[in-house]
Chain A
Amino acid sequence: MGYRDLQELVGHGTDIAEILDTIEQIGAVVERRDVDGFDMEVFPDRPDLFSVEGIARAMRAFMGLQPGLMRYEVHPPQVELHVDPSVLDVRPVIACAVIRNIIFDDASISSLMDFQEKLHLTVGRKRKKVSIGVHDMRYLKSPYTYLGADPKATRFIPLQGEREMDMDQILREHPKGVDYAWILEGKERYPLIVDAEDQVMSFPPIINGTVTQVRDDTNDLFLDITGLDEAACRYSLCILATMLAERGGKIEAVKVVYPDREVVMPDLEPTPRRVKLADIMPWTGLDISGEEAARALGVMGFDAQVTEDGEYLDLLVPAWRMDILHDVDVAEDVSIGFGYERVKGVLPEVLTLSRDMPDEDIQRTTHLAFRGRGFTEVMSFTLSSPEEQYTMMGLQEPEGVTHIVNPVTEQLSIMRTHLVPDLLTYLSRNTHHDYPQSVYEVGQVVLSSKNSLRTAAVSVHAKAGFTTAKSLVEGVLRDLGHGPDIEIEATGSASYILGRCAKVLLEGEDIGIFGEVHPEVLEAFGIAQPTIALELDLERLNG
């Protein structure tokens, strides 16, 4: 957004530094600034701030230049649009308006395009829920018709297209068709807007026809908003129409004729809302009067008044504010209008006593046991791959492994069921450093969708052997308060050298394994030194 453009829209004599400072206070983030302009991020619940025109309107109220509800005149309709029943099960909602006497310049054209893009992405859910069409209406003849058209029988030249195509062809070949064909998947008829002479104005939500292309000298615009959600389309129209009015356009209504009713739109009438001060003020915790709250709402662009009994606020909510779902949304606007930075913080009043987690103690002891033996803690991702967890370890994938439907990469496609492979992977990336290398991890694995706390350690050096591993396991278990209740029993595992591997039993229950890692596994991980490993189930050790 350009500084000059915004400054002119807010009003002459305003200071740009003050404007930028103010933008952050109403809830947008200035992300990048340079000499001429800036980029900003607006929250998705406020599409009315997606454009420089919308920002300027909010700014005028917030800076006290023009507080309260902004009103726009809507002129009587001269154009009609008929909604044909054939479109109702395809893309049922349409909202439209006419804007006269608009004079475009570079700033206003690029603002319109930016707004369209942002709205399509957010409120529009990539055009599925809401899409916008803007048309030069100089060659059009009213009444227009919104209908469900036969894809094969309807041919026209789409914008940015060179020749006449049918609608299926457009979906297959036109860049916009390719991008958005998914929205119309499985539909027998496609949405279409034509004028009284069957000139194709738009194939929503895909592409417009060439006849209505907007040019530098366009003066009169027809706006169509189509979609699936009536409220979302209605709000989008209000936002778009008033944004163009901010540029000096004259809003003119359109009469939309349904088979069973007629509607004149856009409806810019504010929505009355009555909120109880005793509901919203405790929510904010602000110690201010009803009048002050009303003033705060004024700078947020509402008309607000305390009722005579002093118990309520009577509001007029602007037609373009689609984020007011609940009284708490009003409470937020009171807080923003009052100024977040002015809010005096208070501390909780109810005494609560902190308690440890059930496994906090065993976790702490495990860390001490390994650190005392010179092991460095490693933290790795729970996300892993079958390759690392099983193939490289010489194991078969067990039952109950959590698989991700849409992994970002194959390396992060399952939830690990063992920690040792992660430690071996870690050490395989550090073979250029001094040996001995001794690392451990305390972390979660996921088995049958449930977390389970484990610990594992790996030690790599020229003299690492089964006895080293046994000393380590017994030492750590002793530190954890176990001894006589533990049995060590020979076992076999493809990950370990045969005859140099044992399992750990706690009162007869299998709680871990240790031994000398098999050379096959070491080769797979690229580790060229004898390696011992152990893995213990801390959950069971914790009882």
Chain B
Amino acid sequence: MGPGGELVDELDALIDKLSAGERRVLLALRELDGAEVDTICEQAEFRELVEVMNSASWLASKGLVTIGERVDRYAVPGPEAAGVVERGLPERRALVVLSRTGMLGMGDLGPEAGMEKKEASIALGWLKRRGWAEIRRTEDQTVLEITTAGEEMSDDTTPDEEMIARLVEAGRKGVPEEELDPEIWKMLKERKEVVRVREEVHRTLTLTDTGKEALSRGIEMREEVAQLTPQMLRSGRWREVEMRPYDVHAYAPALHGGRPHPVRDTLEKVRRVFKQMGFTEIVGDYVQSAFWNMDALFVPQDHPARDLQDTLYLEGGYDLDVDPETIDRVRRTHEDGWETGSRGWGGEFSMEEIKRPLLRTHTTTLTIQYLAEHPKEPCKIFSLGRVFRHEAIDYSHLAEFHQVEGIVMEPGASFAMLVGVMREFYQRLGFDDIRIRPGYFPYTEPSMEVEVLLNDKWLEMGGSGVFRPEVTAPFDVHDPVLAWGQGLERIAMIMYGLDDIRQLYESDLEWLRNRPLR
């Protein structure tokens, strides 16, 4: 630090850098030096107390202001005070009984004075402390006997009783501690249910000498701006302006983050489960032939699922690229079972029907094509593809939805293995309790339905079964093939608590943008 001139310059520099809030507080202190912050807040028309306190603590750190703190203590009535005024202190009530009887068995005090055990023991303590009664041992019992002091006091009131009455009268604000007789107050304070102490903290702001000097040099208020700009920051002009305060409760527009669709989240979850279990995903075209969608799966050619009311057929033909021998095996399997050991469906197999182009009604069409290409390799495959049905859209139906399908093929595969895989799969999806019962699908035997327990109700999830030999043998697949499938949207509806399936696709943008991401 150099000579006085430099000090003056430093203070000027300090004043120059004061923020708008700091300036307002300093200016207010010109009139209100030493006042409480509440008063300053009110008189200088600050919005909130924290505005004053924030600026005050900056001013204090700059040595312009000191923040003082004073604690005022008040004696206030406790929760039982009013009751005491009405009925008297426990020892007072005991004294009334004693002054009538002179002496009491120790155990009789409570019942005689109408007090609970705890209250009676408080009364006993104070009777002794005040010297109103003595405990004496006679031949057969311990008794309580009134003293002379007790007798004298039986018609009088004590100073602490008077003090309680005074506090009750003063109410919640109480009586400043310093106005009370210190000794009696000290004794009374022990009765925590009868009296309490209330503290009031008062902060005051007092100008330091530097603060007074700064004020005398003159402090100007500055303009108010709404937005801090890069220019202000570069030029330092932000020091000359005051930022307009915001109402923190004012509306702020929503900020939407990019996010996945709920069906995507569901797909990812199911995909994760399949991969954990060693399954590889297969995909394929939506446009398929009746051959791969139906005939190859031993769905009889007159099956109702093949009606125009169930399946979406396409204009034009389908260039079916399958070797004639395979088609012939399928034809004979339908007609008389071929070499599969089956009776077949009977009737005549139409070679025209198999070429009808359609939108796949299940992803099993991909499965059978995969198996036809890889008849001998044990595999675990899955698909999560869209399928199409001739269905009017309503709360529980869609014309286009995702099918979850899983396949296991290996030499020892069996129905029991399918049961094991089902339990594992659904448990990994978060359903701990599953049960199975018989089901029916034209291309599996045995077949079963899987149900999961959700909120104490059994909910049908998917169908599953072992591919019939009529399905696999024509493609030279001879190991048992376990298959299951279900609608993905059903899982999504459970995950997101929806009761209308349309919500997933005709979804409200606000719902998509605001749903929690977990």
Q: Which residues does A use to contact B, with CB under 8 Å?
A: 24-27, 29, 43-46, 122, 125, 129, 229, 231, 282-286, 325-329, 331-332, 335-336, 340-341, 343-357, 360, 367, 370-383, 402-409, 412, 415, 426-427, 429-430, 433-434, 437-439, 444, 446, 449-451
Closest to B253 in A: A434
The distance in angstroms between the C-alpha atoms of A327 and B473, with both chains bound, is 14
Cβ-based interface call for B470 (8 A): yes
Contact B275 A347 (CB under 8 A): no
Partner of B343, one of A326, A331, A382, A415: A326
The distance in angstroms between the C-alpha atoms of A335 and B436, with both chains bound, is 12
Cβ-based interface call for B357 (8 A): yes
Closest to A449 in B: B287
Given A326-B445, A341-B435, A444-B286, A407:B312 Cβ within 8 A: yes
Partner of A328, one of B359, B440, B469, B513: B469
Cβ-based interface call for B13 (8 A): no
- Chain B residues lying within 8 Å of A378, measured Cβ to Cβ, are 261, 507, 512
In the A-B complex, list the 8 residue pairs whose CB atoms are closest, starting with the nearest.
A285-B414, A285-B416, A345-B420, A27-B438, A371-B258, A43-B440, A332-B446, A345-B419
- Chain A residues lying within 8 Å of B371, measured Cβ to Cβ, are none
Given A376-B513, A450-B285, A404:B417 Cβ within 8 A: no
Contact A377 B414 (CB under 8 A): no
Contact A354 B468 (CB under 8 A): no
Given A374-B258, A408-B399, A444-B386, A403:B278 Cβ within 8 A: no
Give the distance to chain A from B163, nearest Cβ to Cβ, in Å.
Answer: 65
Give the distance to chain B from A400, nearest Cβ to Cβ, in Å.
Answer: 10
Given A332-B447, A376-B259, A404-B314, A353:B278 Cβ within 8 A: yes
- Chain B residues lying within 8 Å of A372, measured Cβ to Cβ, are 258
- Chain A residues lying within 8 Å of B399, measured Cβ to Cβ, are 381, 383, 408, 412
The distance in angstroms between the C-alpha atoms of A340 and B417, with both chains bound, is 13
Contact B422 A348 (CB under 8 A): no
The distance in angstroms between the C-alpha atoms of A285 and B343, with both chains bound, is 24
The distance in angstroms between the C-alpha atoms of A403 and B286, with both chains bound, is 13
Contact A375 B258 (CB under 8 A): yes
Cβ-based interface call for B280 (8 A): yes
- Chain B residues lying within 8 Å of A46, measured Cβ to Cβ, are 440
The contact string, 1 if C-beta is below 8 Å from chain A, for chain B 419-433, is: 111111000000000
Give the distance to chain B from A527, nearest Cβ to Cβ, in Å.
Answer: 13
Give the distance to chain B from A25, nearest Cβ to Cβ, in Å.
Answer: 6
- Chain B residues lying within 8 Å of A329, measured Cβ to Cβ, are 445
Contact B312 A404 (CB under 8 A): yes
- Chain A residues lying within 8 Å of B439, measured Cβ to Cβ, are 27, 43
Cβ-based interface call for B480 (8 A): yes
Contact A405 B506 (CB under 8 A): no
Partner of B440, one of A27, A344, A349, A429: A27
Partner of A450, one of B287, B386, B449: B287
Give the distance to chain A from B237, nearest Cβ to Cβ, in Å.
Answer: 29
- Chain B residues lying within 8 Å of A229, measured Cβ to Cβ, are 346-347
CB-contacts of B375-421 with A (<8 A)? 378-380, 386, 388, 390-393, 399-400, 408, 410-421
Given A355-B280, A376-B259, A345:B421 Cβ within 8 A: yes
Give the distance to chain A from B492, nearest Cβ to Cβ, in Å.
Answer: 10
- Chain B residues lying within 8 Å of A326, measured Cβ to Cβ, are 337, 340-343, 445, 468-470
Cβ-based interface call for B155 (8 A): no
Contact A379 B505 (CB under 8 A): yes
Cβ-based interface call for B313 (8 A): yes
Closest to B255 in A: A374
Partner of B341, one of A45, A327, A381, A444: A327
Closest to B278 in A: A352
- Chain A residues lying within 8 Å of B263, measured Cβ to Cβ, are 379
The distance in angstroms between the C-alpha atoms of A376 and B265, with both chains bound, is 13
Contact A382 B314 (CB under 8 A): no
The distance in angstroms between the C-alpha atoms of A324 and B510, with both chains bound, is 54
Cβ-based interface call for B279 (8 A): yes
23 contacts between A and B (CB under 8 A): A27-B439, A27-B440, A43-B440, A125-B302, A326-B470, A328-B466, A328-B468, A332-B447, A340-B436, A343-B415, A344-B419, A345-B417, A345-B420, A346-B416, A350-B378, A354-B380, A377-B261, A378-B512, A404-B312, A415-B286, A430-B510, A449-B287, A451-B285
- Chain A residues lying within 8 Å of B435, measured Cβ to Cβ, are 341
Closest to B308 in A: A406
Tell me the total A-B contact number using a CB cutoff of 8 A: 240
Contact B505 A380 (CB under 8 A): yes
Given A354-B280, A374-B256, A406:B312 Cβ within 8 A: yes
CB-contacts of B341-373 with A (<8 A)? 341-344, 346-347, 357, 359
Given A25-B437, A352-B280, A335:B446 Cβ within 8 A: yes
- Chain A residues lying within 8 Å of B420, measured Cβ to Cβ, are 344-347
Cβ-based interface call for B191 (8 A): no
Give the distance to chain A from B269, nearest Cβ to Cβ, in Å.
Answer: 15
Contact A345 B466 (CB under 8 A): no
CB-contacts of B265-290 with A (<8 A)? 274-275, 278-281, 283-287
Cβ-based interface call for B250 (8 A): no
Given A231-B346, A367-B260, A354:B446 Cβ within 8 A: no
Contact B304 A125 (CB under 8 A): yes
- Chain A residues lying within 8 Å of B468, measured Cβ to Cβ, are 326, 328
Cβ-based interface call for B152 (8 A): no
Give the distance to chain A from B382, nearest Cβ to Cβ, in Å.
Answer: 9
- Chain B residues lying within 8 Å of A351, measured Cβ to Cβ, are 278
Cβ-based interface call for B192 (8 A): no
Contact A406 B446 (CB under 8 A): no
Give the distance to chain A from B325, nearest Cβ to Cβ, in Å.
Answer: 22
Contact B414 A282 (CB under 8 A): yes
Q: A284-B415, A352-B280 are in contact. List 10 more A-B contacts (CB 8 A).
A: A27-B439, A229-B347, A282-B414, A340-B436, A345-B423, A357-B281, A367-B260, A376-B261, A430-B509, A437-B509
The distance in angstroms between the C-alpha atoms of A187 and B131, with both chains bound, is 125
- Chain B residues lying within 8 Å of A343, measured Cβ to Cβ, are 415-416, 419, 436
Closest to B468 in A: A328
Closest to A442 in B: B264
Partner of B417, one of A335, A347, A374, A451: A347
Closest to A331 in B: B446
The distance in angstroms between the C-alpha atoms of A346 and B286, with both chains bound, is 34
Contact A377 B400 (CB under 8 A): no
Cβ-based interface call for B179 (8 A): no
Closest to A26 in B: B438
Give the distance to chain A from B96, nearest Cβ to Cβ, in Å.
Answer: 71
The contact string, 1 if C-beta is below 8 Å from chain A, for chain B 436-477, is: 111110100111110000000000000000101110000000
- Chain A residues lying within 8 Å of B442, measured Cβ to Cβ, are 45
- Chain B residues lying within 8 Å of A347, measured Cβ to Cβ, are 417, 420-421, 424
Closest to B436 in A: A340
Cβ-based interface call for B315 (8 A): yes
Give the distance to chain B from A384, nearest Cβ to Cβ, in Å.
Answer: 10
Contact A405 B313 (CB under 8 A): yes
The distance in angstroms between the C-alpha atoms of A329 and B118, with both chains bound, is 81
Closest to B449 in A: A29
Cβ-based interface call for B247 (8 A): no
Cβ-based interface call for B508 (8 A): yes
Cβ-based interface call for B494 (8 A): no
- Chain B residues lying within 8 Å of A426, measured Cβ to Cβ, are 509
Contact B256 A403 (CB under 8 A): no
Closest to B447 in A: A332
- Chain B residues lying within 8 Å of A409, measured Cβ to Cβ, are 392
- Chain B residues lying within 8 Å of A283, measured Cβ to Cβ, are 414-415, 466, 480
